[in-house]
Amino acid sequence: MSQKVLLVAEDDENDALLLERALRRADSTFRMVRVVNGEELIGYLEKRAPYQDRSVHPDPDLVLLDLKMPRVDGFDVLQWRRDSAGARLLPFIVFSSSDLERDIRKAYSLGANSYVVKPMRSDALDGLVQALLAWWGRFNVGGRAAA
């Protein structure tokens, strides 16, 4: 079985680095691939240039989606996903610093599979990453984006 791919849409370099380190500390079976905004995420999933070569840019098993990004934000990505037959089966976890009820409700109404508020402490991030990996990596049976 090939390595699972976690596609992370995160514009903040520090948040992405902290997440990558937490994945390494958790001895993750996921390979983290990062894009910096929603426009790149959609391009990746639609296999547009420069993401068309799946030997270099493999299909993801799971998407971690920040909401507040430039160009195309996380809400727009969720709307696109809902309208896109090829991405509907792919699990999307919103990973946001926002704990606003309106953001949480909107994300779920647009089809988010889960909503996680980014923890402030590294030990909390480690625990969260371990829980995510256990659920989405070992127990949950999910779909991939359509080829």
Q: Where are the domains of the chain?
A: 4-139
pLDDT at 74: 96
Q: Which has the minimum average pLDDT: 30-34, 71-75, 88-92, 96-100?
A: 88-92
CATH for 4-139 is: 3.40.50.2300
Give the strand order in the sheet containing 30-35: 30-35, 4-9, 62-65, 92-96, 114-117
Residue of 142 and 45 predicted with greater confidence? 45
Range 62-71 average pLDDT: 94
User: What pLDDT score was predicted for residue 111?
Assistant: 95
**pLDDT confidence of residue 28:** 83
Higher pLDDT, 5 or 88: 5
7 close to 64: Cβ distance less than 8 angstroms: yes
Q: Tell me if 66 sits within 8 A of 10, measured CB to CB.
A: yes
What does the mean pLDDT of the chain come to? 90
100-134 residue pLDDT tens: 999 999 999 999 999 999 998 888 999 989 988 88
64 in Cβ contact with 95 (< 8 Å): yes
DSSP 28: -
Q: What is the pLDDT of residue 132?
A: 86
- Rounded mean pLDDT of 23-34? 90
